[in-house]
Amino acid sequence: MYILKVKGSAKIPDYIQIRDDDFTLIAYFRTENISTGLQQCKLQEKENEIKKIIDSISFGKIFKLPF
């Protein structure tokens, strides 16, 4: 799985994309709603790890999740 952090504009908020190994979109949520977004794609048990990754990566970068 991959995670992508996208910078919004004045009217569009920042958001997160989670994609599978084929780069198919699994989850798409705002950075303010990380917990809700992870519940939708059944990754809530990895929430703390994913939050740390989201805080550490730059906007516009793709990061391969280690799990």
The predicted-structure confidence for 37-48, as pLDDT tens digits, reads as follows 888 888 889 999
pLDDT of residue 33: 86
| Res 67 pLDDT > 90 | no
Q: What is the pLDDT of residue 41?
A: 85
pLDDT score of 52? 92
CB-based contact 62:6 (threshold 8 Å): no
pLDDT of 10: 85
Q: pLDDT: is 32 or 24 the higher one?
A: 24
Report CA torsion sign: 51, 32, 16, 42: positive
